[in-house]
Amino acid sequence: MGGCTLTGALSVACFIPGAVTVVHAPKGCAHQTFSMLHALMNEAETKTVPEILVSGLSDKDVIFGGEACLRSALDRAAAKEPELIIVVTSCVPETIGDDCLAVCREHPYSNRTLYIPTSGFLGGSAKDGENAALIGLSALADPADPVPGTVGIIGEKNLESEVEENFAEVKRLLDLLGLTITVRFCRNSCVADLRKLGAASCFILRDHRCADAGRELGRRFCRPVVGGFPRGLSGSIAFLQETGKACGLSAEKIESAVQQETKYQKKMLGRFANLAGSRVSLGAEPFEGTLTAAREALACLDMTESSDGINVRLPFYLPVGVSGTVKMLYLWRRAVLHG
């Protein structure tokens, strides 16, 4: 997703049930960002409209300071009595020097207000905003002793395609290891759930996009961090091994999970045995790593990649584990057998 840090931060912060997000910015900044989120919400069939308030900085406020606008917006947010008020900023208040942190600390609702400096285009990209929001929201969780056999998932996108399918695949793999997911940080998680982050014995990142947040959260809570969801078939095996070791499981437990997964993969690939010998052209790679996962599937099914082969579609997402690979293979079989 493109855009400034405000866009990225809002994509994380504004989908927390029971929270209100205050955008300290001119109305145009908030409108542009929310319009983008609204379009993605329609695509993702999200029915909940996020609770967002904008301070509405005017030309006069830009000249003389906009802190009064932020105080007014906080008053309006507090009147709703939310569990949490999250404050994010565009580049305008950062440019004019508004002390947003001081305003938040002085407000009567300060004990339930979290300020996340995002700085709009001055702060970087949407990815930087996502990481800033994840790091900022982690302040809700206190350090705690890790609960053995538990993991926390970090950085699932609230408007990501295939998000629940990918989660189900990761959960299936974690079940093989006997591990339990305590929190999806911050995938539609309420404030009470976000506070559970510190009790997880290991953190699993959605992907490299939230690596900055992963490093900071791993350091803050002294937890091992798994770098991302599994890519393709061999990625599932590697994921089991890495996650099992990170959670301190025995070598025997990990090996048992690997054997079960290997057997399962063989069974699932057996559904596509009629593709053996097919010559296909994969075309351009939409996401880094997709071609690697696709070529691995080709080799497993004794298929051949050729520039003059049948054109098959690479998915517009990175195949996660077996389920993502199988969905891709269904598309291929339709193209190979039915044109």
Residue among 339, 207, 275, 264 at smallest CA distance from 294: 275
Whether 22 and 86 have beta carbons less than 8 Å apart is answered as: yes
Residue carrying the six token digits 């049930």: 17
The least confident of 179-188, 298-307, 309-318 is 309-318
Q: Inform me whether the pLDDT recorded for 153 exceeds 90.
A: yes
Q: Inform me whether the pLDDT recorded for 38 exceeds 80.
A: no
Q: Inform me whether the pLDDT recorded for 143 exceeds 60.
A: yes
Alpha carbons 78 and 29: distance in angstroms, whole number? 22
Q: Which domains does the chain have, with CATH numbers?
A: 5-140 (3.40.50.1980), 150-265 (3.40.50.1980), 268-338 (no CATH)
Whether 322 and 265 have beta carbons less than 8 Å apart is answered as: yes
Q: Inform me whether the pLDDT recorded for 303 exceeds 60.
A: yes
Cis before 186 (ω within 30):
yes
Q: Inform me whether the pLDDT recorded for 1 exceeds 60.
A: no
Whether 92 and 120 have beta carbons less than 8 Å apart is answered as: yes
Whether 141 and 198 have beta carbons less than 8 Å apart is answered as: yes
pTM (2 d.p.): 0.92
Q: Inform me whether the pLDDT recorded for 71 exceeds 90.
A: yes
pLDDT of 41 reads 62
Residue carrying the six token digits 């970087």: 124
Residue type, 106: E
DSSP 144-180: -PPBTTEEEEE---TT-TTHHHHHHHHHHHHHHHT-E
- Summarised one tens digit per residue, pLDDT across range 246-278 is 999 999 999 999 999 999 999 999 999 999 999
- Summarised one tens digit per residue, pLDDT across range 168-223 is 999 999 999 999 999 999 998 999 999 999 999 999 999 999 999 999 999 999 99
Residue among 104, 111, 102 at smallest CA distance from 140: 111
Report CA dihedral (322, 237, 196, 115) to the nearest 10 degrees. Answer: -80
What's the chain's length in residues?
339
**Percent of residues, the chain, with pLDDT higher than 90:** 78
For the record, the structure tokens of 314 come out as 């690479």
Mean pLDDT of the chain: 92
